[in-house]
């Protein structure tokens, strides 16, 4: 049974640190939040309908995919089954994301963990994973509220930009013409650099990328997202174990062995 001593700190300073660290990334999120609000208006959704999706669904990729499947002719009905299955496939990656954060999540109370997970996005997950690695390297006490703080930052910017895109932005019939569709790529590239991939991460990255690209060509829908994530995870789990620097370096005062 888990005792109080097993729990990690969950504090306001940790929450504020997560919020503050996520601000630069959240500005990028706001760009495609504006894009979502604009596209939703073009599809005929009202401001209330659009904002409700951002407030209660809060899943950028799934929301944009829902718009792709949305029909302005509601008399023909919505493809409900396709919406559900596509959203499920796209978000299955959260199973792997949650597993990566399990060293923190399993040491929070149920309310803290599940409350934080509602606000978890790709951006807040990547920042929190980087924070976990940094805490371990510096032997620093972790603060589980970091995930919630970074998620709340994305939540605030996503919802504000949704409203802005729906109500104020006009005349952008083709957002790709102005490069707004590149916001996704730019944000995730910045997150990857921020994670500082190590030498042992190269193989999983190559495997994940190659699998995702191949499946994007061969499989319908969004299965390539899950396939790339699973392939990269298996490559990391089954690949060579990382060599600790302390294991490879000679002990202080020792004499290197001569060949």
Three-state SS for the chain is CCCHHHCCECCHHHHHHHHHHHHHHHHHHHHHHHHHHHHHHHCCCCHHHHHHHHHHCCCHHHHHHHHHHCCCCHHHCCCHHHHHHHHHHHHCHHHHHHHHCHHHHCCCCHHHHHHHHHCCCHHHHHHHHHHHHHHHHCCCCCECHHHHHHHHHHHHHHHHHHHHHHHCCCCCCCHHHHCHHHHHHHHHHHHHHHCCCCHHHHHHHHHHHHHHHHHHHHCCCCHHHHHHHHHHHHHHHHCCCCCCHHHHCCCCCCCCCCC
Tell me what pLDDT residue 253 has.
47
**Are both 177 and 75 inside the same structural domain?**
yes
User: Does 128 fall in a domain?
Assistant: yes
Alpha-carbon Rg for the chain, nearest whole angstrom, is 21
pLDDT tens column, 97-144? 898 899 999 999 999 999 999 999 988 998 999 999 899 999 999 999
Tell me what pLDDT residue 252 has.
46
**Lowest mean pLDDT across 22-31, 50-59, 92-101, 216-225:** 216-225
**Are both 212 and 188 inside the same structural domain?**
no
pLDDT of 188 > 80? The answer is: no
**Are both 119 and 204 inside the same structural domain?**
no
**Are both 56 and 120 inside the same structural domain?**
yes
Tell me what pLDDT residue 1 has.
53
**Are both 187 and 203 inside the same structural domain?**
no
User: Does 246 fall in a domain?
Assistant: no
* Sole residue written with tokens 């149920």: 110
**Are both 179 and 234 inside the same structural domain?**
no
pLDDT band at 161 (very low <50, low <70, confident <90, very high): very high
Global pTM reads: 0.73
Assign residue 221 a region: left if phi > 0, alpha if psi is -120 to 50, beta otherwise? Answer: left
**Are both 32 and 117 inside the same structural domain?**
yes
User: Does 250 fall in a domain?
Assistant: no
Tell me what pLDDT residue 184 has.
58
User: Does 256 fall in a domain?
Assistant: no
User: Does 43 fall in a domain?
Assistant: yes
Residue 213 structural domain: 198-240
Task: Tell me how far apart the alpha carbons of residues 41 and 25 are, in angstroms, rounded to a whole number.
Answer: 25
pLDDT band at 64 (very low <50, low <70, confident <90, very high): confident
**Are both 134 and 203 inside the same structural domain?**
no
For the residues 43-49, what does the mean pLDDT come to? 90
**What proportion of the chain, given as a percentage, has pLDDT over 70?**
75
Tell me what pLDDT residue 82 has.
76
On average, the pLDDT of the chain sits at 80
pLDDT tens column, 219-259? 876 677 778 878 887 887 776 665 544 444 444 444 444 44
Instruction: Give 17 or 93, the one with higher predicted confidence.
Output: 17
């Amino acid at each position: 049974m888990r005792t109080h001593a097993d729990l990690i700190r969950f504090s306001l300073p940790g929450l504020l640190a997560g919020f503050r660290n996520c601000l630069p990334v959240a500005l990028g999120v706001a760009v495609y939040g504006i894009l979502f609000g604009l596209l939703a208006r073009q599809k005929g959704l009202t401001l209330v309908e659009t904002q409700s999706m951002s407030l209660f669904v809060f899943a950028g990729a799934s929301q944009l995919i829902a718009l792709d499947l949305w029909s302005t002719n509601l008399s023909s009905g919505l493809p409900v089954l396709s919406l559900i299955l596509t959203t499920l496939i796209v978000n299955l990656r959260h199973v792997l994301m949650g597993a990566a954060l399990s060293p923190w999540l399993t040491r929070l109370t149920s309310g803290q963990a599940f409350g934080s997970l509602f606000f978890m996005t790709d951006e807040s997950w990547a920042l929190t994973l980087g924070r976990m690695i940094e805490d371990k390297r510096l032997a620093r006490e972790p603060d589980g509220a970091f995930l919630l703080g970074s998620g709340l930052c994305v939540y605030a910017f996503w919802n504000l930009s949704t409203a802005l895109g729906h109500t104020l932005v006009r005349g952008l019939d083709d957002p790709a013409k102005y490069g707004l569709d590149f916001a996704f790529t730019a944000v995730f590239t910045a997150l990857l650099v921020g994670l500082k991939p190590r030498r042992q991460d190269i193989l999983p990255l190559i495997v994940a990328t190659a699998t995702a690209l191949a499946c994007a060509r061969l499989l319908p829908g969004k299965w390539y997202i899950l396939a790339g994530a699973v392939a990269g995870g298996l490559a990391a789990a089954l690949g060579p174990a990382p060599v600790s620097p302390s294991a490879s370096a000679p002990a202080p005062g020792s004499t290197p062995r001569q060949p």
